[in-house]
C-alpha cells in the first residue's frame, strides 16, 4: 500500500503523552518511596523514549512504503544538511548563553558563570542532555509528530502548536526527584521553573525552523536540540542568566518569524505527496514556488 499517507497527529501526540506520562508518574511515585529510587531513574528514561517508540510504531505498522522510506532517508541522508545552518546551530546557543551571562553581571551576578560546570552528576547530565534526550525526542517529534501537524496546519500554526505541546509534555518532570525540573520547582523563586517551561516555546520555534531549512533532516534537529542543551549544561550559568537567555531566544525566534516570512507563511503540506493541500491560500502557494 503506497497511496498517499494520511498523518494522524491526534493519535501520535495522545499516545506519546500517555507513553511518557505513565512512566514519569510512576517514576515520581517510585522516587518518593524508600528503596524504589533506582526504579525512578529507569522509569524516567523509559518515559523519555515515549515519542520515539510511538513514532516508530506508527511508521512501521502503517503499511505505507513511502512513509518508511521517507523516515529512513531523513534519518540517514546527511546530504540534507546545509553546512552553514549546521555551524549556526552550534554557535547560536553558546552566543545566546554567553551574552546572557554578560548581561546578568549588570544585575550583580557572578563572573564565575563563565566557568565550565562541574559537579558529581555532570557526566550523567551531559550524556542525558547532549545525547539521549535529543536523539530519543527528535526521533519522535521530527520523525513523525511535527510533519503530522504540518500536514494539517500551516507552518506558523503547526510550529506554535508543537512548541506548546512540547512544553506541556515536560510537565511531570517537576515531580521526579533529582531531575533538573524538580530542582527548579523546589527553589524559593517560582520564576525559575516558570522560565524553564517558557523557554521551550522559542526553542521549539527555532528547532522547527532549522529542521525545515535542512530539508527535514532529523540529525540536523538532533544537533540543534543537543546544542541548546549543551549551552545550558556546560556553562555555569545561573538562573538569572537563564531567564535572560529565554528573552534572547524569544527575540531570535521573533527575528526568524519576521525575516523568513516566506517559509512561515506556507500552508498545510503533506511532504509525502510533494505538494500543498488544495485548500492552501494562493498567496502562500505562490511564495512556496518562488522560494523553491
The residues carrying an active-site annotation are 137, 170
100 sits in the region (left: phi over 0; alpha: psi -120 to 50; else beta) called alpha
Whole-number Å distance between alpha carbons of 289 and 131 = 37
Q: What does each C-alpha distance from 92 to 110, 184, 210, 216, 267 come to in angstroms?
A: 23, 25, 12, 20, 28
Distance CA 32, CA 92 (A): 39
Q: Which DSSP helix (H) or strand (E) runs through 104?
A: helix 83-105
Show the cell assigned to 68: 518508511
What Cα–Cα distance (Å) separates residue 24 from each residue in 71, 143, 194, 200, 230?
A: 27, 22, 19, 19, 23
Residue 237 to residue 84: CA distance in whole angstroms:
27
Amino acid at each position: 500500500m503506497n497511496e498517499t499517507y494520511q498523518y494522524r497527529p491526534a493519535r501520535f501526540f495522545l499516545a506519546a503523552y500517555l507513553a511518557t506520562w505513565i512512566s514519569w508518574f510512576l517514576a515520581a511515585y517510585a522516587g518518593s518511596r524508600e528503596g524504589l529510587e533506582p526504579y525512578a531513574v529507569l522509569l524516567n528514561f523509559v518515559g523519555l523514549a515515549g515519542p520515539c517508540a510511538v513514532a516508530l510504531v506508527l511508521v512501521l505498522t502503517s503499511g505505507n512504503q513511502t512513509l518508511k522510506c521517507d523516515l529512513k532517508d531523513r534519518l540517514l541522508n546527511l546530504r540534507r544538511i546545509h553546512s552553514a545552518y549546521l555551524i549556526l546551530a552550534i554557535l547560536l546557543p553558546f552566543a545566546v548563553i554567553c551574552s546572557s551571562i554578560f548581561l546578568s553581571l549588570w544585575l550583580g551576578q557572578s563572573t564565575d558563570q563563565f566557568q565550565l560546570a562541574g559537579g558529581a552528576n555532570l557526566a550523567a547530565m551531559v550524556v542525558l542532555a547532549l545525547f539521549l534526550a535529543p536523539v530519543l525526542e527528535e526521533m519522535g517529534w521530527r520523525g513523525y509528530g511535527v510533519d503530522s501537524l504540518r500536514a494539517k496546519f500551516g507552518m506558523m500554526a503547526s510550529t506554535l502548536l508543537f512548541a506548546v505541546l512540547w512544553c506541556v509534555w515536560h510537565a511531570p518532570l517537576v515531580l521526579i526527584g533529582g531531575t533538573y525540573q524538580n530542582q527548579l520547582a523546589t527553589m524559593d523563586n517560582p520564576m525559575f521553573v516558570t522560565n524553564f517551561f517558557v523557554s521551550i516555546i522559542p526553542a521549539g520555534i527555532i528547532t522547527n525552523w532549522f529542521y525545515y531549512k535542512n530539508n527535514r533532516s532529523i540529525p540536523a534537529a538532533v544537533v540543534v536540540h543537543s546544542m541548546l542543551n549543551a549551552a545550558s549544561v556546560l556553562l555555569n550559568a545561573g538562573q538569572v542568566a537563564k531567564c535572560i537567555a529565554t528573552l534572547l531566544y524569544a527575540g531570535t525566534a521573533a527575528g526568524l518569524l519576521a525575516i523568513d516570512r516566506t517559509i512561515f507563511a506556507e500552508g498545510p503540506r503533506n511532504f509525502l505527496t510533494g505538494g500543498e493541500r488544495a485548500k492552501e491560500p494562493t498567496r502562500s502557494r505562490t511564495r512556496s514556488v518562488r522560494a523553491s
